[in-house]
Amino acid sequence: MEYTILGKTGFKVSKIGLGGAPLGGDFGETTDETVTRVIDAALDLGINFIDTAPLYGRGESERRIGQALKGKRDQVILATKAVMRGTPYSYENTIQSVEESLQRLQTDYIDLIQLHELEQTSYEQAVNETLPAFLKLKEQGKVRAIGVNAGKLELLMPFLKEDLVDTIQTYAKYTLVDYTAKDELLPLAKEKNIGVIHGSPLCMGILADQPAPFLQQNHALLEESNRRMKQLQFLRKTELKGLVEPAMRFSLTCPDIAITLTGTTSIRSLQANVNYCDGVGLLDQELEKVFALFPGQRLL
């Protein structure tokens, strides 16, 4: 397992982290027992960063993680988010959201609290209400660091430019088929020493030859992703889902990404992904070829 420092937080974190959405049942039914086994396996494999949110399983992910971490809380850097989609991102709702997360997680503090889905609020509300609530909670010792999350890179840029947070999290923006985070976001985060967390290195299942169900009706996107995948055949391994390994290594060895998240309820899949966290990336000539294929071309 490789470890790094998560930007200005100073947290020593595993370069691969466990994502909480599948643990809440968002990608298929699961059980408390399965989640506990997966978390125990993750800890045994050296993973010390777990990321979740109230939205995942409508609180079930947090509840299950809290249950699984009884007696082991000090072994992990625990991250969650606020608020839940559909709720105004007001100061009061933010405080309430975090208090409810603390209860479900069965902990006195959250290492990293993140504003979830910037797409669901405005920059003004985020800066004037959500972030001040986070700072108040930090004063009280209930959170240790503050971050923001968004799929759209342009929404994250003001928070980087104004140096408002300790971390940023995005997803599917440094993958083999869409590496648009490389252009502006990653260089600026590095300059500001703001830790970067990257989710969905398999681009919503596309690089695992199994696009997420919510993409199935987006025929134009699937057609374009298939076109890009054909141009990546030079990286494909012979085994089933042969682009998974190069895709994971691509994100895990990016020097400007602190944590790459893997979300799974399968211990076998977890073990495979951890095996890719050994510091070995694509060859220089392979990277050059990838970066020449789709420069500046967003997919999702």
Q: Which amino acids are annotated catalytic?
A: 56
The contacts of residue 214 (CB under 8 Å, 6+ apart) are none
With beta carbons less than 8 A apart as the criterion, state whether 174 and 257 touch. Answer: yes
Eight-class DSSP state of 127: I
- Of 152, 300, 157, 144, nearest to 222 by C-alpha is 300
Cα–Cα distance measured from residue 126 to residue 121, given in angstroms and rounded to the nearest whole number? 7
Exposure string (b/e) for 218-236, b if CB count within 10 Å is 16 or more? eeebeebbeebbeebeebb
- Of 216, 215, 289, 223, nearest to 250 by C-alpha is 289
With beta carbons less than 8 A apart as the criterion, state whether 274 and 47 touch. Answer: yes
> Residues 165, 166, 168, CA angle at the centre, nearest 5°?
80
With beta carbons less than 8 A apart as the criterion, state whether 167 and 6 touch. Answer: yes
With beta carbons less than 8 A apart as the criterion, state whether 293 and 177 touch. Answer: no
